[in-house]
Amino acid sequence: MKLKMRLVSAMCIAILAVSAVGCSSDMAIPGADSSKKTVQQDTKANKDASTGKLDKSSSSESVKMIYFIPTEDASGVTQESVEISADKSTPKAALLAMLKSDRSHKYPIFDKAIEISSVTVKDKVATVEVNKAFAAGKGGDLTVKLQLAAIVNTLTSFDDINSVLFVVDGKQVKSIASFDTSEPLTRMKNLIK
């Protein structure tokens, strides 16, 4: 009898945990003020990706470069930033900072085998050259969803990037795991926490 009660209790806890992870930002807790966080994260704070500069000021200026990493509870991605010289704040530098930060956590979602070779921007679309380890989409749908959200939200933080495509060896990646990447991916606001 005790074993059955323990199993039932464990199943209830598991159902609650899965339900909590599936909640969207639309289901905010009444009375909680999340407007300040959303406003800050929805603004594009990184500079022009093609020039790497906020404005025509000196390149010795230090700026905050924004990137996104998965939350500890895997419910989405959260914004972080690093101080960097204005002339070094590029889309690729932001992605490398994102990888470094994620890999410093206890449970990183970006495997060490995943590499980002380059980022090019044309007509507000960033094309990210990734390796086959990333394109393979290992780790399951949640892992891939968080990886895509981290990359896309990091890059769309730049003023001149609105969407992201992925390529391997110069060829477009049509899907990663169960996610369709045949069209450019746009900012994933619903995953920003």
pLDDT (tens digit, 9 = 90+) per residue, 123-161?
Answer: 999 999 999 999 999 999 999 999 999 999 999 999 999
The C-alpha atoms of residue 30 and residue 27 are separated, in whole angstroms, by 9
DSSP 8-state assignment for residue 56:
S
Higher pLDDT, 104 or 15: 104
Q: What dihedral angle (degrees, nearest 10) is formed by the CA atoms of 52, 58, 67, 124?
A: -30
pLDDT band at 44 (very low <50, low <70, confident <90, very high): low
The C-alpha atoms of residue 83 and residue 86 are separated, in whole angstroms, by 9
Which neighbouring-strand residues pair with 66? 81
As a whole number of Å, the end-to-end CA separation of the chain is 42
Q: What's the whole-model pTM score?
A: 0.72
SS3 content of the chain, % helix, strand, coil (to 5): 35, 25, 40
β-pair type (62-70, 77-85)? antiparallel
Q: What is the pLDDT of residue 73?
A: 92
pLDDT band at 54 (very low <50, low <70, confident <90, very high): very low
Q: Which token pair is 69?
A: 């990493």
> Could you tell me if 70 and 106 are in contact, meaning their C-beta atoms sit under 8 angstroms apart?
no
DSSP 8-state assignment for residue 60:
T
